[in-house]
Chains A and B, each alone.
Chain A
């Protein structure tokens, strides 16, 4: 019954489109739909992108004053998604198979558009300011902001999403120049998923993007600072918010990067601590005494360290009791580790859960692009699950004793 997933994985093909562009196809003819993602190696973590307003240049390029490009997309029943992540910018189109040719012409026109809508740029700028004020009453945002400020230096790009945003650049000539440059740097990929053949995809990729430059980009790779060491961080911090009837707690530290050799052990440990509905945190804080509705762990997944957090919340008058319990769960976890039964269950769960990412061709393409963007070999993340499952109990517990030391965590309280 696992055959379909294997068939899809086997149908992944790659080729060279030109000197600066890779092609990839995940073939799937079950439904008459196609997804095409063009990815460019410039993300919000690059200092070049920030100094050239590359995020604005890339994400607003389909918005001309007459909405002609968007109206064409609507007429074609095609969606165009433009976005810039930490390490790349991407344009994704989704359409029915017969519309692919016209949709690709539209994508090419978007990438060549020189008529950005200045009025919309100004409006976006104003809206950005208003939305920023809305963050003041958002508990999740305020905790994430405090965690980023605790762990990263002021000029570290990992803090950017939580600091006041700059106004939208409204100089259209500057935006066009930036966009034209960033889409020509080598390291690009055109990914296809869905109802087309390798020949269809190779033909579609030809000439889709302007010729790449023959020089490598500079200042585009993320420049991340060092993590603020635990010894230099406050052990706890309160975030004052008005009108809250609950207290929200997060124990935070730096996360384990994907390429860290300790990562497989982390996957097992984290699953047991906070990765499911009967994890240690859920049982102690929710199921045993009803202190909370939610408890668990979160992390930023990347090859660079981000924020790892164990969190929960409760009614204001129960704050001290739940903080004691949260710290207690973490201390016992650190001191005693996990049991063989927990290790075996975590391994089986991590293995079984991989099937969820193999349901559609677009999911498989997305995983390929993630691994490529992070500089990982295809299949790296799935292989890591196998490595995790092969670890002994002693290996996992040795990791827990090192990583979950209470001295490494900062307590954040929003109340």
Chain B
């Protein structure tokens, strides 16, 4: 099998300065994906450095001591490639995809900006204005994003995941050259980074370039300490929010999930797939189709490095009482506790769906680089990108049932209710008639 041949040429090493390197050569791909994972994200910011992880995502495209502002982007564009960067609560990732003949130059650009960034007042002032416009566009002027940021804060309180990874306008305004320099010197080092290369490359030549470009960079700075896991965090029992959303009221019942490297994390992943990964959502079937108690309902999950969440939600026209909506959700979760959704057949199907997702990602250099980078940082070993199917196959029906009991049935639930700011008069007056005609 071709995949086995490709895996045989996998290179995984750590340079003396601490830079971790994974190269997955695949001659069948037309582009090379290069990713640098810095193991610092918005959750690692303190009160004095809030917003800096995301601001750095911008500053890193500025001038260095050896290259001009925009040289990286112009080079990538000139060869028809694509580049970008992402800030999450757990990491900051710099990604590029280029034709193979341009891959070596990407490595040199990445090595250069890892330690040679020129932090000037002029560029910082400009990027602060740009990030502020991004925040206005992405959060301030979008009702759904406004709601999510408010919910994140209300739900997580003082947990490091409570803050929008993009920061706030006040955070951005407070950034100075000194605070940026301190952040850069603390976290942008080879010993806090993982370089991933996937695509049609010669691994020996690639490794030689990496040693030449990155090898002289000093081991300095630090990797920030882990943030507390979500599971076990003292969440509030519930709260209400209001936002300028379409005229529906949304009831949510949620519970935290374990960190990505927990012993039962794979069982949780399979649980989520069995429960909510297919085209028939069991909560929708109970609440909407059979009981006709809502206009929409479903199960959603979120995954972060130090934990995640599972959320059962329903949306109704705004005539139903909050207590009724919550009771309906509780009854539906109690019905799901009978675990009729978990059979040998549904378990096998879920495993096959996950296997298909992996097989489809196989063709894309960027997706495979993502898997490798995430496996290293979230699970502790890049090799977990390649043993995922084995780990999933090992999950039993009892494992999934145990995960349900631990993280749903026996969990302390959090209850959130969201109301629209505006309800049209016809819904306010006649919405209660809806069940009579359904």
A interface, CB within 8 angstroms of B = 1-5, 28-33, 67, 70-71, 73-77, 79-80, 94-96, 99, 117, 119-120, 122-123, 126-127, 130-131, 133-134, 137, 139, 242-246, 276-278, 286-287, 289-294, 313-315, 345, 348-356, 358-361
The complex places the Cα of A346 from the Cα of B285 at a distance, in Å, of: 52
The complex places the Cα of A218 from the Cα of B280 at a distance, in Å, of: 37
Q: Are A287 and B69 in contact (CB under 8 A)?
A: yes
The complex places the Cα of A352 from the Cα of B76 at a distance, in Å, of: 10
Q: Are B140 and A292 in contact (CB under 8 A)?
A: no
Nearest CB of chain B from residue A69's CB, rounded to whole Å: 9
Q: Are B130 and A70 in contact (CB under 8 A)?
A: no
Q: A33-B359, A277-B73, A287-B70 are in contact. Are A127 and B295 (CB under 8 A)?
A: yes
Which residues of B lie under 8 Å from residue A276 when comparing CB positions?
Answer: 73, 77
B215 contacts the other chain (CB 8 A): no
- The interface-forming segment of B49-57, B93-101, B301-309 is B93-101
Q: Are B356 and A352 in contact (CB under 8 A)?
A: no
Residue of A nearest to B351 (CB): A77
Q: Are A354 and B295 in contact (CB under 8 A)?
A: no
State how many residues of chain B have any CB contact under 8 Å with chain A: 72
The complex places the Cα of A2 from the Cα of B27 at a distance, in Å, of: 9
Q: A127-B295, A127-B296, A278-B73 are in contact. Are A67 and B136 (CB under 8 A)?
A: no
- A-B interface contact total, Cβ < 8 Å: 188
Residue of B nearest to A65 (CB): B289
Q: Are A70 and B137 in contact (CB under 8 A)?
A: no
B interface, CB within 8 angstroms of A = 2-3, 27-31, 69-70, 73-74, 77-83, 97-102, 125-134, 136-137, 140-141, 143, 200, 244-248, 278-280, 285, 288-289, 292, 295-296, 317, 345-346, 349, 352-353, 355-356, 359-360, 362-365, 424, 434, 437-438
Q: Are B363 and A349 in contact (CB under 8 A)?
A: no
A-B residue pairs in contact (CB < 8 Å), sample of 10: A4-B200, A31-B359, A33-B359, A71-B278, A94-B360, A293-B137, A348-B80, A350-B80, A356-B31, A360-B360
Which residues of B lie under 8 Å from residue A349 when comparing CB positions?
Answer: 77-80
Interface centre among B200, B246, B362, by most chain A C-beta atoms within 10 angstroms, is: B246
Interface centre among B3, B97, B353, by most chain A C-beta atoms within 10 angstroms, is: B353
Which residues of A lie under 8 Å from residue B360 when comparing CB positions?
Answer: 31, 33, 94, 360
Q: A134-B246, A278-B77 are in contact. Are A96 and B82 (CB under 8 A)?
A: no
The complex places the Cα of A37 from the Cα of B136 at a distance, in Å, of: 41
Q: Are B73 and A1 in contact (CB under 8 A)?
A: no
Residue of B nearest to A313 (CB): B137
Nearest CB of chain A from residue B131's CB, rounded to whole Å: 7
Q: Are B77 and A77 in contact (CB under 8 A)?
A: no
Q: Are B143 and A137 in contact (CB under 8 A)?
A: yes
- Interchain CB contact (< 8 A) of B365 among A291, A359, A361: A359
Q: Are A33 and B78 in contact (CB under 8 A)?
A: no
- Interchain CB contact (< 8 A) of A80 among B29, B99, B279: B279
Which residues of A lie under 8 Å from residue B292 when comparing CB positions?
Answer: 119
Which residues of A lie under 8 Å from residue B353 when comparing CB positions?
Answer: 74, 77
Residue of A nearest to B82 (CB): A356
Q: A4-B29, A245-B136, A276-B77 are in contact. Are A290 and B129 (CB under 8 A)?
A: yes
The complex places the Cα of A278 from the Cα of B78 at a distance, in Å, of: 10
The complex places the Cα of A70 from the Cα of B346 at a distance, in Å, of: 13
Nearest CB of chain A from residue B294's CB, rounded to whole Å: 10
Q: Are A4 and B345 in contact (CB under 8 A)?
A: no
Q: Are A31 and B82 in contact (CB under 8 A)?
A: no
